[in-house]
């Protein structure tokens, strides 16, 4: 599928974006492991989260929906999952895979997990290593580093794990496995990563100890079925928000967006770049802070994005590189080598595609340098099957001098069904 993006004068109006992907995955997983019913609202009907629903269906969990974002999960408790009759398919979703590996590690049965071509090339030793130390066995390609992976779970022992990477997927895999291990499981990470697992575990009745970058849980707790209203996804909101910030005269509001402080690096960077950004109607929703975000287009200036900010905006870097290309001056992005192991190598793919628009962008081993302010021309851009690249390049096209074609744009459905419609709704031509 191709997406044609016509240049626009500015963006104007109010929209909401689909539910948060990270929170949606976790609602299915914790709902399945709880006793009683879990009701989810504003569940993300994107392909990644639908893959999670399918996997849990195959593990014997009764799930109704999703229907217009409503999902009802009949929890089976910590001991109720069933051996799947076939291979589990996580599609394009790293989060489904790594969190599910943590859960499968604690099951007294055998399962096999695979995914699409992109996912089969993403590193899994980062979770199979600590889960093996807890007592699970894995068999897979290249010394168990890649999908497909066979998992033989069983009785786990707790560990104190020092993660080498600030990654919520690694932290969550070990914590979810820790639910099945008798005793205290601890994860420490080098910088704070998104804490949706911790927040949701607490709302399902699990007690955690959180000090600095360390989380501790006592194994074998009881999870209670719950109601979860999923906030709008800040990683999806990022696309219209950046577009409005770079197009002078724009004025948009994205309502009901999650602004969890472990996810709000985008807002901090846009402010540093000089964006006119306001948070309105800040409130709590199912244990997560939410706000309406208003951005008025004033033009941006270059900045540095590095260090502990990186995990707080990791998925927003492709679109922030687009912001940098439209900003006056230099933007340096570093400490972001994790971008190389996402749905595509996002350092390489962002640089390659933005160059086609005429941007001045250079790859670093762990980031990018963008000399902003050059006029961009519309082009034919590739998605590499990576939803964030497809949407970031669409934003680049909005401010360019000629129409842009995004090839392979079907992948936007992974995280933002209705993306093209949302842009059209806001566009002033």
Ligand X SMILES: C=C(OP(=O)(O)O)C(=O)O
Ligand Y SMILES: O=C(O)C1=C[C@@H](OP(=O)(O)O)[C@@H](O)[C@H](O)C1
Residue of 325, 338, 326, 331 lying closest to 304 (CA atoms): 331
Q: What is the SS3 assignment for 46-80?
A: CHHHHHHHHHHHHCCCEEEEEECCEEEEEEECCCC
Beta-bridge partner residues of 151: 111, 138
Q: How far is the CB of 381 from ligand X (least distance, A)?
A: 17
167 binds ligand Y (CB under 6 A): yes
| C-alpha span between 194 and 201 (Å, rounded) | 13
Residue selected from 42, 92, 169, 379 as contacting ligand Y according to rule CB under 6 A: 169
Q: Catalytic site residue 20?
A: no
Range list of H helices, 151-210: 168-178, 196-203
Catalytic residue among 315, 366, 386, 413: 315
Partner touching 286 among ligand Y, ligand X, none, CB below 5 to 8 Å by kind: none
Partner touching 316 among ligand Y, ligand X, none, CB below 5 to 8 Å by kind: none
315 binds ligand Y (CB under 6 A): yes
Q: How far is the CB of 240 from ligand Y (least distance, A)?
A: 19
* Coil, strand or helix at 372: strand
Residues at the interface with ligand X (CB under 6 A): 21, 48, 93-95, 315, 342-343, 388, 415
The answer for residues whose C-beta is within 8 angstroms of residue 5's C-beta and 6 or more apart is 378, 394, 397, 398, 403, 404, 405, 406, 423
314 binds ligand Y (CB under 6 A): yes
Partner touching 167 among ligand Y, ligand X, none, CB below 5 to 8 Å by kind: ligand Y
**Of 163-171, 244-252, 257-265, 274-282, which part binds ligand Y (CB under 6 A)?**
163-171
Closer of 238 and 400 to ligand Y (Cβ): 238
Please report, in range form, the residues annotated as the binding site.
Answer: 21-22, 26, 94, 122, 167, 169, 315, 342, 346, 388
| C-alpha span between 319 and 26 (Å, rounded) | 25
Residue nearest to ligand X (CB): 94
Beta carbons of 258 and 293 less than 8 angstroms apart: no
Residue 103 to residues 40, 96, 178, 342, 383: CA-CA distances in angstroms? 20, 11, 9, 22, 32
Site string for ligand Y, 5-24 (x = CB under 6 A): -----------------x--
Helix (H) and strand (E) counts for the chain? 13, 24
338 binds ligand Y (CB under 6 A): yes
Partner touching 168 among ligand X, ligand Y, none, CB below 5 to 8 Å by kind: ligand Y
Q: How far is the CB of 124 from ligand X (least distance, A)?
A: 12
The alpha carbon torsion through 30, 34, 36, 40 (nearest 10 deg) reads -10
Residue selected from 146, 181, 194, 423 as contacting ligand Y according to rule CB under 6 A: 194
Partner touching 93 among ligand Y, ligand X, none, CB below 5 to 8 Å by kind: ligand X
96 binds ligand Y (CB under 6 A): no
Q: How far is the CB of 170 from ligand X (least distance, A)?
A: 11
Closer of 224 and 340 to ligand X (Cβ): 340
Residue 315 to residues 21, 179, 216, 222, 303: CA-CA distances in angstroms? 12, 28, 26, 33, 18
| C-alpha span between 220 and 54 (Å, rounded) | 25
Query: Which helix (DSSP H) or strand (DSSP E) does residue 422 occupy?
Result: helix 419-426
Report how far Cα 95 is from the mean position of its chain's Cα atoms.
8
Residue selected from 27, 50, 168, 270 as contacting ligand Y according to rule CB under 6 A: 168
Partner touching 349 among ligand X, ligand Y, none, CB below 5 to 8 Å by kind: none
**Of 30-38, 131-139, 167-175, 364-372, which part binds ligand Y (CB under 6 A)?**
167-175
Closer of 414 and 426 to ligand Y (Cβ): 414
The one-character DSSP state at 311 is: G
For the annotated catalytic residues, the residue numbers are 315
Q: Using CB under 6 A, list all residues that contact ligand Y.
A: 22, 95, 167-169, 172, 193-194, 314-315, 338
């Amino acid at each position: 599928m191709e997406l044609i993006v016509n240049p626009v004068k500015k963006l104007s109006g109010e929209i909401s974006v689909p539910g948060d992907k990270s929170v949606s995955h976790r609602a299915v997983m914790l709902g399945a492991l709880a006793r009683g019913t879990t009701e989810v609202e504003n569940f993300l009907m994107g392909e990644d989260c639908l893959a999670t629903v399918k996997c849990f269906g195959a593990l014997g969990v009764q799930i109704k929906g999703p229907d217009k974002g409503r999902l009802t999960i009949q929890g089976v408790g910590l001991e109720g999952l069933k051996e799947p009759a076939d291979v589990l398919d996580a599609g394009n979703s790293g989060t489904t895979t790594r969190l599910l590996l943590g859960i499968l590690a604690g099951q007294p049965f055998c399962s096999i997990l695979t995914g699409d071509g992109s996912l089969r090339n993403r590193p899994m030793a980062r979770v199979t290593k600590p889960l093996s130390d807890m007592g699970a066995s894995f068999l897979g390609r290249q010394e168990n580093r890649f999908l497909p992976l066979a998992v033989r779970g069983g009785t786990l022992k707790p560990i104190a794990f020092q993660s080498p990477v600030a990654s919520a997927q690694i932290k969550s895999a070990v914590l979810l496995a820790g639910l099945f291990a008798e005793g205290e499981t601890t994860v420490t990470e080098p910088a704070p990563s998104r804490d949706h697992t911790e927040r949701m575990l607490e709302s399902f009745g699990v007690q955690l100890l959180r000090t600095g970058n360390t989380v501790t849980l006592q194994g074998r707790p009881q999870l209670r079925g719950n109601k979860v209203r999923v906030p709008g996804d800040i990683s999806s909101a990022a696309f219209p928000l950046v577009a409005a910030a770079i197009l002078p005269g724009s004025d948009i509001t994205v309502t009901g967006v999650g602004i969890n402080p472990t996810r709000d690096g985008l807002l901090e960077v846009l402010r540093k770049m000089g964006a006119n950004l306001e948070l309105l109607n800040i409130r709590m929703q199912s244990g997560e802070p939410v706000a309406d975000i208003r951005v008025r287009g004033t033009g941006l200036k270059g900045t540095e994005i590095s260090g502990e900010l990186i995990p707080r905006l990791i998925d927003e870097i492709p679109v922030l590189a687009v912001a940098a290309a439209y900003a006056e001056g230099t933007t340096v992005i570093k400490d972001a080598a994790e971008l190389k192991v996402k749905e595509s190598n996002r350092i390489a793919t962002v640089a390659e595609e933005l160059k086609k628009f005429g941007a001045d962008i250079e790859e670093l081993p762990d980031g990018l340098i963008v000399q902003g302010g050059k006029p961009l021309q519309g082009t034919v851009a590739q998605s590499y099957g990576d939803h964030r690249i497809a949407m970031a390049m669409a934003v680049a096209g909005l401010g360019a001098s000629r129409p842009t074609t995004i090839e392979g744009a079907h992948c936007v459905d992974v995280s933002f069904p209705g993306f093209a419609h949302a842009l059209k709704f806001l566009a002033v031509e």
